[in-house]
Chains A and B, each alone.
Chain A
Amino acid sequence: MTALAGNNYGDTPVVPAKPDNYLTHGKTIRSWLLTLDHKRIGIMYLVVGLLAFFIGGMLAEVIRTQLLVPQGLIFHGTGSVASSYAAYRYYNQVFTLHGIIMVFLVLIPIIPGALGNFALPLLLGAKDVAFPKLNLISFYLYVVGALLAILSTVLGAVDTGWTFYTPFSIQTESYVVVMVLGIFLVGFSSIFTGINFMVTIHKLRPPGMSWFRMPLFLWAIYATSLIQVAATPVVGITFVLLMMERIMGIGIFNPALGGNPVLFQEFFWFYSHPAVYIMILPAMGIVSEIIPVFSRKHIFGYEFIALSSLAIALIGFLVWGHHIFVNGQSAELDAVFSFLTFVVAVPSAIKVWNWLATMYKGAIVLKTPMLYALSFIVLFTIGGLTGVVLGALSEDVVLHDTYFVVGHFHYVMMGGTLIGFIAGLHYWWPKMFGRMYNERIAQITCVVMFIGVNLTFFPQLMVGADGMPRRYASYLPMYQPYMIASTIGAYIQLVAFLTMAGYLMHSLFYGKKAPVNPWGGGSLEWETSSPPPHDNFETTPSVADPYDYGDLVFDPAVNGYVRTEKPADTLVPVKVAH
């Protein structure tokens, strides 16, 4: 077969490099800010999300620098205890902001918002999400929420921790109301995105794409959306109550007025534990896409990976109590939560085994996305296993609220979600911007990143088990060696991230033009040009098994993969109207 650049199938004409794509379709600022195009909205999420990530990351570096010495390197007193405490308040504000920005503005929205928005309709072969205007509203709710978070920081930074535990959050002298209002809006952004994606997956699947023919990323996004829709309203009302508490003194959570501060914790974690799965499930979806593509082999155990996402989403609703084992809820309740926590660990394990089985006998290409996906497996394994011991009741008593917990959730959130996001970003980058990044530098960066992440968070596991509590501005000197190692790791991560920012920015302007299908992916987004046109597809794509790579071969002429023959037996014709 001759090389047919960017072609879908042999009998359709060659698609020339189209001068018009979604990036050039409308050049004014207005055409970006008021766009209804899911791809542009995705890019805007990406920009704002990365900006938030930069701020959150720099705050993390401040935290790590502070903890280089036991009495605090940046914020410390002038000798008296009282002056130390006054100084530590700034540290408390820094870690609070780090937590809020990373959780609410980065981890929760960035994969659904940026990669989900960009890729979901493409993976479906659809022209857009079901409700494009709602999609834009979601984005602006997110932006306004982020601006309110900044406003509250400027007015008087919040020092409650990202968990806003009452009654401290009721008493503290800072702009909790503004911050909580911002998060409330971000929450509604998340709800609307979830509704949008669920309806899109339900109603805009092309004929022929049955549920079990969807790419696994869509399953992951579907499960994520389910959680967003079902859990976020509860934290919404919780934050409304917290605002009422501060504005009106309503008294529901305030023990001084007969209220119940523990109720806040129950409400908060009813959302915030499922929120952990909002963060990790899409990353798992990305890894499920990348591993088969770069193993050149059909995914193993498709149904099990797909259904385990749903299982995690559903059981994930019933385990919130494991965050509050030591707050005095009844031991019987603790036992139930502990039990369910162990149950929810199993579907995650199933995914890991299936990914490994996919690699078995594959033809593994260690391109950057794959390297990050493999990093994900290692880091997520550590994060998951450390979660298992935290679920055991008697062990949680020893480890609750220590750096062990900090290390555990950073392995899952940083090593899982963010590494998964970076993998997805590298995977879809050529499709997003039509440019290739420098592969060699990206691979080296990935290795540095892997080392940095482990060096940062593994000592935290150790120091936590040894007895250092979290959210400490100062600490006992015996913990210092761990803290120094962790800080060095954080600096290494900073170097890796700055390098990444450099080569990705460089690729935007000087990168090689990306082919239609640089990695040999089988799902529909690789059937359209890079970057895709405004309406996504020149010709309506045909639905086939997204994990069948049998007819894709590498063509050096276009530096990408092309289909060699029409997979007639799997092709389902698309009906235009019915």
Chain B
Amino acid sequence: MAEALAITATEEQVARQHLAHHFDTPQQQFDAGTLGMWMFLATEMLLFSGLFCAYAVFRATHPEVFKYAGQYLDPVSGLINALILLTSGLTMALAVRFAQTGKRFALSLCLALTMLGGVAFLAIHAKEYFDNGQAKLLWGTHYAPTVGPNGKPIAPVVGLVPLVVKPKPVASAGWQQLNALGKAGFVVSHSDIMPAPTGPSGVATSQKPSAPENPFQPANVQIFFGIYFLMTGLHSLHVIIGIIVIGWLLIRSFRGEFGPGYNAPVVYVGMYWGVVDMVWMFLFPLLYLIH
């Protein structure tokens, strides 16, 4: 293997071409880039850590919500996604290796496979989102399922009165229903027209007038779905960005830009993809395998 990594005189030249004026050696430049990338990935982890903290806090204070709502999610699709991401992680690692050894076709192939994995992951996830949307397993006031986790009908959730005042429909595009109502002069959601809660106003009460099929439906289930969509949404956003960047690498690898002398972008994106994979390995058990 050592021979494969030996940098030839031409590669040395390639490396010099990519050397910025303020670095002394390509190695120094590469090390600086790697360190910078690790730091950036650390900030990415910290970005997720806020959501993990929110998860921990709400799971500690509302364990019944997580136990109940977790049943709605399908662990099989989560597991398939985990396997897809693991595989794409492998192909990405191979891509880094092939970039360093200068195997251009293998590099392009592995990058393409990694992209494919990312797209498959998103497709499965999109299906899940779609199903959630159909079943109204959504966040906040949009949470209004008619079927319990066991498939039996449940009493609709009412009593979620949002205290949000929309200034003008500036950022609320896409919530047509609310907007249409807003234009008519009413900020009415499912439950706006309700007798005032008797407790301190603003305490969410999930009224369940009659729910013989699911007598143990806990209050505030919408919190779980809020966290679920935030965590998986942020992760999916990272997958999308990853796919775009890998596509850019793919184009450059077709052009034959990477070799033993210059492969830093492949290495950096490989690190990024590894972190994206890892986040899902945390999200999957936390969200899909609650019991």
Contacts and interface: CB of A to CB of B under 8 A. Distances in A.
Let me know if chains A and B touch directly in the complex, using CB atoms closer than 8 Å: yes
Interface of A: 121, 126-132, 134, 155-156, 167, 170-175, 177-178, 191, 194-196, 198-200, 202-204, 229-230, 232-234, 236-238, 240-241, 243-252, 254-260, 263, 267, 535, 576-578
Contacts of B5: none
A175 B167 contact: yes
Contact of A198 (B39, B139, B229): B39
Interface string B26-69: 00100111011001101110111111011001100110000000
Contacts of A131: 32-33, 36
A249 B202 contact: no
Nearest to B189: A249
B22 A249 contact: no
Given A175-B167, A254-B140, A254-B163, A233 B44 contact: yes
B49 A234 contact: yes
Contacts of B48: 237
B50 A233 contact: yes
Nearest to A234: B50
B220 interface: yes
A191 B35 CA distance: 14
B22 to A, nearest CB: 4
A256 B36 contact: no
Contacts of A173: 165, 167
Contacts of A194: 39
A126 B22 CA distance: 7
B222 A251 contact: yes
A576 B25 CA distance: 10
Contact of A204 (B22, B165, B167): B22
Interface string B202-234: 111000000000000001101100110110001
Q: Is the interface of B mostly helix, strand, loop or mixed?
A: helix
B16 to A, nearest CB: 11
Q: Point out which of B43, B46, B47, B167 has the most chain A C-beta atoms below 10 A from its C-beta.
A: B43
B163 A203 contact: no
- B interface bracket (residues with beta carbon within 8 Å of A): 35 or more
A-B pairs with lowest CB-CB distance, top 9: A258-B220, A237-B50, A233-B46, A127-B22, A249-B140, A251-B140, A128-B22, A203-B32, A256-B163
A177 B164 CA distance: 13
B262 to A, nearest CB: 17
Contacts of A258: 62, 204, 219-220, 222-223
Nearest to B54: A252
Given A234-B50, A246-B171, A171 B44 contact: no
6 contacts: A178-B170, A247-B171, A251-B223, A252-B230, A256-B204, A260-B57
Contact of A577 (B25, B161, B220): B25
B38 to A, nearest CB: 9
A129 B32 CA distance: 10
Contacts of B171: 177, 243, 246-247
A257 B203 contact: no
B165 A171 contact: yes
B2 to A, nearest CB: 21
B141 to A, nearest CB: 5
B229 A229 contact: no
B198 to A, nearest CB: 15
Given A167-B202, A237-B48, 8 more contacts: A203-B35, A229-B42, A236-B47, A237-B49, A252-B54, A257-B204, A260-B58, A260-B61
Contacts of A129: 22
B50 A199 contact: no
A167 B202 CA distance: 10
Contacts of B161: 256
A167 B162 CA distance: 11
B21 interface: yes
A229 B162 contact: no
Contact of A199 (B32, B163, B220): B32
Contacts of A254: 140, 162-164
A170 B47 contact: no
Given A249-B162, A258-B204, A238 B50 contact: yes
B15 to A, nearest CB: 13
A413 to B, nearest CB: 25
Nearest to A263: B57
A203 B227 contact: no
Contacts of A203: 28, 31-32, 35
A248 B44 CA distance: 23
B227 to A, nearest CB: 7
Contact of A257 (B46, B140, B175): B140
Interface string B131-153: 00000000111100000000000
Nearest to B44: A233
B32 A167 contact: no
Contacts of A167: 163, 202
B20 interface: yes
B46 to A, nearest CB: 4
A194 B47 CA distance: 16
Interface in B97-122: none
B40 to A, nearest CB: 6
A267 B53 contact: yes
A530 to B, nearest CB: 21
A251 B220 CA distance: 10
Given A130-B32, A251-B139, A229 B22 contact: no
B160 interface: yes
A204 B24 CA distance: 9
A156 B167 CA distance: 9
A251 B252 CA distance: 43
Given A204-B22, A246-B164, A263-B54, A252 B36 contact: no
A241 B229 CA distance: 11
